[in-house]
Structure 1
């Protein structure tokens, strides 16, 4: 970790591998400063890891990077101990949070962090890049809450790019809050909602039996992608309702 007038630079990395006995080993768990990593009790072949915020942030000017690699034969679930709160820094500079995920053939990753909250005055750019092998399996959840209770949001830019077997199946960006493109909160955008989220599923069987595109209750939809993957998206008035919508739509795919 490094600290300067421009903010904190911190990295965390997770490496999971099959242990040759039907389980998952974690030979690489490294975290710096605000990015602490803790192994928790696994279940069956699945290893579990928790991201723990050891400091406030990201603040303006901070740059956090988290990477995870799941090698052949491994099963890994990653969660977080609490929500991530984006806050303004002293100089109001943009903060960055980069996530890099790689999953090999015959491996599975469940990336299930708690929501990201964009507090008033903050300016955060989140970029998530996912590289999957042809038979990799993935469940990735992103939830964003615009402002704390009764508070206007900060500026939040979120980009998600997903590649499967070297081909891009999804590359999208959402910008919300002050300075975002006009209409982000209008009928063609979030329509006044303050919580937005998505779940990406990658399953080899979707290559021959993709899910059907459909809406799910009010504010949620399921959409097959151009590859063995599907995207569940939802908007809601608050984080609790958003989680319920995403969970219900996800359960409909099982």
Structure 2
């Protein structure tokens, strides 16, 4: 009896001296490739709502190690609330559940590239040069994932007859920010000003204070009186008074 008590006291002392005792169990390994594929699949699904899958390329930018967990049922959950707006670079938080309980969150860094057939310049185009069919072509290019479809062109005919507002190097994607309609009225140029009241029509000449295209409202100055008034562009170097 005394020997049994001594053994029990000794075992208790050992437990107290080393703290909590962990009991080893069989482990299971989750390959990093599996985690990365989950992140890629999520991004492909998000982008495929606006782009065809063949135009989406998702790559992992940071390697993850393989991870070991105790035996049990493994599930995965992506917390979409923690993901920023869709852009080029993403960090996808993947929560790992063991038997229904979250045990770890892994962060997968990915880069998304989008491709599309868009209008590009064949050769350099000068500033304020009119665009013709020979100057542009349709080619497959990487496009900015933050861009809207209206930021670039997918039809050559949409650009013919417009002009550039800056120099465009060869092979550059042509977007809405670097082109404009050809102005019918140029700033500081003389314009014919037409005024109509009922059946009465009169005209004078004035100086356009702004450039513009058809139906634009611009300011025009009467060179004799220096008065400034508003007029609508109705043709080449021709405007109509706005009452």
TM-score of Structure 1 vs Structure 2, range by shorter chain = under 0.3
* Higher-Rg member (1/2): 2
Structure with more strand by fraction: 1
TM-score in terms of structure 2 length: 0.21
The normalised TM-score by structure 1 is 0.20
**Would you tell me which structure has more helix in proportion to its own residues?**
2
